[in-house]
Chains A and B, each alone.
Chain A
Amino acid sequence: MFAFLVRRLIQAVLVMFVISLISFSIQDNLGDPLREMLGVAVSEAERERLREELGLNDPFLEQYWRFLQKAVQGDLGNSYFFKRPALEVIMEKLPATVELVLGATLIIVTLSVPIGVYCAIRPKTWLARTLMGLSIIGISVPVFLTAILLIYVFSIHLGWFPSYGRGDTAMIGFWETGLLTRDGLIHLVLPSIALSSIMLPLFIRLIRSEMMECLEQDYIRFARAKGLSNRRIWFIHALKNTLLPVITVGGVQIGTMIAFTILTETVFQWPGMGFLFLEAVNRTDTPLIIAYMIIVGLIFVVTNTLVDLIYGLVDPTVKLARRI
């Protein structure tokens, strides 16, 4: 366990180091910080003096070290557009994205397990066939198209749900939440469905195939021979082993989900990190782009480590230290 944590930590540091190196070289090459600060109406000699003063003429490594020292303290520079610390701007938008992911995860977990299990234990029924057919269509429809379709049907035609924004929010400490107001919850419905639309069929198919594989194994046959009820075999013995690989895939998919939040947030104008990031790209707001990269990198590293840890706890046969 300890060895695993140490190795994982080294790997995490390595990944973050690469990300910071990339971020820094972007900062170095993307736009001129002096122009952002001063505008164009400053003489060349004055620029050169400031350049020297700000340390922009120092060697690469020296500048990088300074960047790193600041970054570790949470200082990633000021956003050119908002004129405020980039990290602060990103963190303000984090709750919106997290709640969106939460909503989608809730839909995926509550629907994929029962449907996947049903399709595995009754594969020949028409309902299972229909569900599997729908799932392959679901995988083939890009998230942004589902989002547009949902807006078209439920906002424009039926008018049941709002088509953009987060609605009313309430503050709990520093966390701006939309989960506590009725308006906020209504706004969350369509984006969550859209975000879950591609993962849900993926998980249904995964759970189904894993479960079917499980049901063919010897220990299930033994359980049958012992006279256990079908219900007990399915939901206690088979399901447990089915969910193991699902955890691993789930960990990877959290990352994909964050990528899809960018798409969902763009279509629904959801004021989260992804939407902010795209705006930052269009404005060439380098500090904000870097802040987003670092936050997302951190989320990836942390979730992957957590998933591996959970995997080790759930399945004692896995030697964590050997799983890198």
Chain B
Amino acid sequence: MRKLWQAVAGSDLYYHFKRDKVAIASFSTLMLMVLISFTAPLIAPFDPYDPMQIDIMNSDIPPSWVENGEEQFKLGTDAQGRDMLSTMMYGTRISITIGLLAVCLQLVIGITLGLVAGYFGGRIDSILMRIADIQLSFSTLMVAIIVLAIFQASLGADLYGEYALLMLVLVIGIAEWPQYARTVRASVLAEKEKEYVDAVRVIGLGPMRIMFRHILPNTLSPVLVISTVQVANAIMSEAALSFLGLGMPVNQPSLGSLINAGFEFILSGSWWITTFPAIALILLVLVINLLGDWLRDVLNPKLYKG
């Protein structure tokens, strides 16, 4: 543990991190949000999944500092009588989970295919890259909306709600693999020509071992930079899909579905149902984007354009 800390403290990344106020602020905000949302079952004042704690008589109560507000509901309640603060904590947890899982899926698919395409070249490469080109030319959100819409229409809203989280991860994860595949492939093409690869080949190691143990570690810095932006994008996509009613169901809301639920009431004056989740969502995406910007400036990898 101490060794690990020393490795972190001695690294370039940490050196730059210490000197950048924006990076420190965004990182601490992000960590705080992650901590609060993932410990929600322990620290949230109410459990929004427990029907016993929800009373419809408590619906539409404004935040506690506004007139008619109640002290026990700090940020007010939504139309179903759920405490906004607790529901948001749980919602942030769902949003972050979907973002991370979707990016993990993108990483696995994208890195594997990118390595294979770059290392073997030839026909495999051109076929994979052709598919990637075509898939990139269709916007992820468009594909996700259509695919999820079809699944929702064929499964019915209730059944769909049960699998919504899985579906969101799968769709966002699969739709974005070309981003990684192209970046990894570009780095592999450069790495492949280097002497150390020749050396391990002469030793007689198999292609799998060369690809994953020797080339892959040298392609990771652009992957790291893309990943931050991709997590932000995945969270945004999830929010957009949930806002359209194609994502998380009302009884298990993410930040996007909370905003969607509140949008109906914004005209009647219940601004808090939309505003607080919106602020949480923007803050979450913003700090991740700021961190991504900072990482790109520090690591400055050659990113694949276009």
Residues of A that sit less than 8 Å from B by CB: 11, 15, 26, 29-31, 136-137, 139-145, 148, 151-152, 156, 245, 248-249, 251-252, 255-256, 258-260, 262-263, 266-267, 277-278, 281-282, 284, 286, 289, 293, 296, 300, 304, 324
Judge whether B6 is part of the interface by a CB distance below 8 angstroms.
no
Alpha-carbon distance A323/B141, docked complex (angstroms): 25
- Contact (Cβ within 8 A) A139 B282: no
The count of residues in chain B whose C-beta lies closer than 8 Å to any C-beta of chain A is: 41
Task: Report the minimal beta-carbon distance from A86 to chain B, rounded to whole angstroms.
Answer: 15
Interface string of B111-155 (1 = CB under 8 A from A): 000000000000000000010011011111110011001101110
- Contact (Cβ within 8 A) B286 A324: no
Alpha-carbon distance A26/B137, docked complex (angstroms): 23
- Contact (Cβ within 8 A) B244 A262: yes
Contacts A15-B134, A136-B290, A137-B286; is A26 near B305 (CB within 8 Å)? no
Which of B146, B259, B274 counts the most chain A CB atoms within 10 A?
A: B146
- Contact (Cβ within 8 A) B153 A141: no
- Contact (Cβ within 8 A) A145 B137: no
Q: Which of A140, A256, A282 contacts B285 (CB 8 A)?
A: A140
**29 residue pairs bridging A and B, Cβ less than 8 Å apart:** A11-B134, A26-B154, A30-B150, A30-B153, A30-B154, A136-B289, A140-B285, A145-B281, A152-B271, A156-B267, A251-B137, A252-B306, A255-B137, A255-B139, A255-B142, A256-B139, A256-B140, A256-B142, A258-B139, A259-B142, A262-B145, A262-B244, A281-B149, A281-B246, A284-B153, A289-B149, A289-B150, A289-B153, A296-B146
Chain B residues positioned under 8 Å from A277 (CB to CB):
149
Chain B residues positioned under 8 Å from A137 (CB to CB):
282, 286
Alpha-carbon distance A141/B259, docked complex (angstroms): 13
Task: Report the minimal beta-carbon distance from A297 to chain B, rounded to whole angstroms.
Answer: 8
- Contact (Cβ within 8 A) A304 B137: yes
Residues of B that sit less than 8 Å from A by CB: 130, 133-134, 136-142, 145-146, 149-150, 152-154, 232, 236, 239-240, 243-246, 259, 263, 266-267, 271, 274, 278, 281-282, 285-286, 289-290, 293, 305-306
- Contact (Cβ within 8 A) A300 B153: no
Chain A residues positioned under 8 Å from B271 (CB to CB):
152
Alpha-carbon distance A293/B236, docked complex (angstroms): 23
Chain B residues positioned under 8 Å from A284 (CB to CB):
153
Alpha-carbon distance A267/B274, docked complex (angstroms): 13
- Contact (Cβ within 8 A) B139 A259: yes
Secondary structure at the A interface, as helix, strand, loop or mixed, is: helix
Task: Report the minimal beta-carbon distance from A36 to chain B, rounded to whole angstroms.
Answer: 13
Contacts A248-B306, A260-B141; is A140 near B136 (CB within 8 Å)? no
- Contact (Cβ within 8 A) A140 B289: yes
Alpha-carbon distance A255/B134, docked complex (angstroms): 12
Alpha-carbon distance A284/B149, docked complex (angstroms): 9
Q: Which of A15, A31, A142, A152 contacts B240 (CB 8 A)?
A: A142
Nearest 6 Cβ contacts at the A-B interface: A259-B142, A259-B141, A256-B139, A140-B286, A255-B139, A281-B149
Task: Report the minimal beta-carbon distance from B139 to chain A, rounded to whole angstroms.
Answer: 4
- Contact (Cβ within 8 A) A266 B244: yes
Task: Report the minimal beta-carbon distance from A289 to chain B, rounded to whole angstroms.
Answer: 7
Alpha-carbon distance A289/B154, docked complex (angstroms): 12
Task: Report the minimal beta-carbon distance from A80 to chain B, rounded to whole angstroms.
Answer: 12
Chain A residues positioned under 8 Å from B274 (CB to CB):
148
